A = this chain, B = another copy of it.
């Protein structure tokens, strides 16, 4: 039976990417070698890596004064690595707290410079995006989490400011066009819209590198990876390979603007049903709803297991909500087709009809 994979991450990737990746594991492009056994210095991998970088640049329209790095360690490593690299001891950075991941970024950055939280939606369990805040002009950067996977909120627009944005885009990168010039650093764990778990994309503006003036362990210094083109040490070859395949697929369907249209259609379909269906209600204020992760609950929580059972029968997996929100979360990343969302909507309608 076809599975509809609504997991929050690691998550669905295009079926054609799975097919190509499996072939690469057996024999990479007729080389007689598996992609798992080739040297990261081989011409095959150098080419894969170059393609991945070029595709990121193309689909996000990244200007030439930015570096594109494929690192490891996840967004959780970038939480401190960003501040470590670009925030001096006597400098100030400002943060928006829109959920668990923002809070972790704030906690890790506090080791460096002065960290000020200028806006937070913690008062309402992160069900909205703060809008009423002042951005001090003497801050080195403003950090935000563009999409909050756990709570289901998303910045529909980015703050209008002259200071650079530093942004954790782990769960909505490549889902829409963004103006990269507003950002000092964009970072994203691969395992939502880019590829499988195991690599982290970092896009960093050239002039920020080395700005903290700190002595940094070599592998934590952006400059190391820039100078060595992400090959300072053995990179995560396979996760980068599959990311390249996924980016190629994305370009093939029309890039981020086409992805945004697909994502809009999926989100509208699901949120419409959440509003229409008498059994369910959304968690998040409508204007801040995420197009990637829809959070919703049953008005009567006693039906929870029954609804999850109905989902399982229809091949729908990964819709159980995060423990800090409860209820359900349907993640609809780039690779998800509309028919998976309509399958979920149908289960919701049948479930309502049975009550």
Q: Contact check, A197 vs B40: say whether CB atoms are below 8 A apart.
A: yes
Closest residue of B by beta carbon distance from A12: B37
A290 interface residue (CB < 8 Å to B): no
Chain B nearest Cβ from A314, distance in angstroms: 12
Q: Contact check, B236 vs A236: say whether CB atoms are below 8 A apart.
A: yes
1/0 per residue A220-238: CB within 8 Å of B?
Answer: 1000000000001111111
Closest residue of B by beta carbon distance from A236: B198
1/0 per residue A96-130: CB within 8 Å of B?
Answer: 00000000100110010000000000000000000
Chain A interface helix/strand/loop/mixed: loop
Contacting chain B: which of A68-76, A131-139, A158-166, A281-289?
A68-76
Within A206-249, which residues are at the interface with B (CB < 8 Å)?
A: 215, 217-220, 232-239, 242
Specify how many copies of this chain sit in the oligomer: 2
A242 contacts across to B, CB distance below 8 A: 36
Q: Contact check, A76 vs B108: say whether CB atoms are below 8 A apart.
A: no
Q: Contact check, A7 vs B37: say whether CB atoms are below 8 A apart.
A: yes
Residue from A39, A75, A191, A215 having most chain B Cβ neighbours under 10 A: A39
A274 interface residue (CB < 8 Å to B): no
Closest residue of B by beta carbon distance from A1: B32
A33 interface residue (CB < 8 Å to B): yes
Q: Contact check, A215 vs B317: say whether CB atoms are below 8 A apart.
A: no
Provide the bound-state CA to CA distance between A37 and B194, in Å. Answer: 12
Residue from A34, A195, A232, A237 having most chain B Cβ neighbours under 10 A: A34
Q: Contact check, A237 vs B196: say whether CB atoms are below 8 A apart.
A: yes
Chain B nearest Cβ from A293, distance in angstroms: 13
A11 interface residue (CB < 8 Å to B): yes
Q: Contact check, B197 vs A75: say whether CB atoms are below 8 A apart.
A: no
1/0 per residue A58-71: CB within 8 Å of B?
Answer: 00000000000000
Q: Contact check, A197 vs B7: say whether CB atoms are below 8 A apart.
A: no
Q: Contact check, B80 vs A219: say whether CB atoms are below 8 A apart.
A: yes
Closest residue of B by beta carbon distance from A81: B217
A8 interface residue (CB < 8 Å to B): yes
Chain B nearest Cβ from A120, distance in angstroms: 20
A46 interface residue (CB < 8 Å to B): no
A2 interface residue (CB < 8 Å to B): yes
Given A77-B219, A218-B107, CB of A234 within 8 Å of CB of B39? no
A31 contacts across to B, CB distance below 8 A: 3
Residue from A3, A73, A84, A318 having most chain B Cβ neighbours under 10 A: A73
A107 contacts across to B, CB distance below 8 A: 218
Provide the bound-state CA to CA distance between A12 and B33, in Å. Answer: 9
> Told that A22-B22, A111-B217 touch, could you supply 11 new A-B pairs with CB distance under 8 A?
A3-B32, A7-B38, A10-B38, A10-B39, A22-B26, A32-B315, A39-B318, A74-B233, A75-B233, A80-B219, A236-B239
Chain A residues within 8 Å of B, Cβ to Cβ: 1-3, 5, 7-13, 18-19, 21-23, 25-26, 31-34, 36-40, 42, 72-77, 79-80, 84, 104, 107-108, 111, 189, 191, 195-199, 215, 217-220, 232-239, 242, 315, 317-318
Selected A-B contacts with CB under 8 Å, 11 pairs:
A7-B38, A7-B42, A12-B37, A36-B195, A72-B74, A73-B77, A76-B219, A198-B199, A198-B237, A198-B238, A238-B238
